[in-house]
Amino acid sequence: MKFTHLRNQEINMVDISKKKSTSRSAIAVSYVRFTKKSFKKLIDKGSPKGEIFNTARCAGILGAKKTSELIPLCHNINLSDVNIDFKIDEKMLTIKVKSEVSTVSATGVEMEALTSCIIASLTIYDMCKSIDKKITIETTKLIYKSGGKSGIFKND
């Protein structure tokens, strides 16, 4: 197996200068799970810190933009769009966080989608931790990517 980030046992950023810029996108999801009591309180009264969804959306967008500052060998990419949505599942006691990121670049945006998703989830945790510290963030994963030579990837 050849590691793309190792040359002569030294870590290096992958050289993308000869790669073609193409339209690329990635979608990631994460689930924020609550206890029954805290979920009901959140739905009925909201977070004591204020409206969580726009705050988490803004944090997620910032997370996507700052990914290269957080992940050591990640390229700094000009993002075309970051879209973060939330879905409340009362039966499963979860908030599903979905992040979709796109660009026209020589490298993909999988890390930006994953980072924005987890940062939005962490923001929800932060805004709700006074209700219940047993909140968990679960199953963060890439579910789709397109663009580049590897084409389309789906992981539903």
Least reliable range by pLDDT among 8-17, 42-51, 80-89, 107-116: 8-17
pLDDT, tens digit (0-9, with 9 covering 90-100), for 67-77: 999 998 899 99
Least reliable range by pLDDT among 2-16, 50-64, 82-96: 2-16
**CB within 8 Å of 3: residues ≥ 6 apart:** none
pLDDT at site 46:
84
Residue 72: what residue type?
P
- State the number of CA atoms in the 13 A half-sphere of 101 facing the CB: 29
Closest CA to 65 of 106, 21, 103: 103
pLDDT, tens digit (0-9, with 9 covering 90-100), for 95-152: 999 999 999 998 899 999 999 999 999 999 999 999 999 999 999 999 999 998 888 9
CA 65: distance to chain centroid?
11
pLDDT at 36 over 60: yes
Does 126 participate in catalysis according to the annotation? yes
pTM of the complete model: 0.91
Element (DSSP H or E) covering residue 69: helix 67-70
- Catalytic residue, from 85, 89, 126, 156: name it: 126
What the chain holds in terms of domains, given with CATH numbers, is 23-154 (3.30.70.640)
Q: How many CB atoms lie within 10 A of CB 120?
A: 32
Q: How many CB atoms lie within 10 A of CB 108?
A: 23
pLDDT at 6 over 60: no
Q: Taking residues 38-53, report their average pLDDT.
A: 88
Residue 26 phi, psi dihedral angles, 5° rounding: -150, 145
Q: How far apart are CA 136 and CA 70, in angstroms?
A: 22
The pair of three-digit structure tokens given for residue 102, joined into one six-digit string: 């796109």
Q: Are 29 and 154 in contact (CB under 8 A)?
A: no
Whole-number mean pLDDT of the chain?
92
Express the helix, strand and coil content of the chain in percent, nearest 5 each: 30, 35, 35
Kindly provide the b/e burial profile for residues 16-44, where b requires at least 16 CB atoms within 10 angstroms of the residue's own CB: eeeeeeeebbbbbbbbbbbeeebbebbee
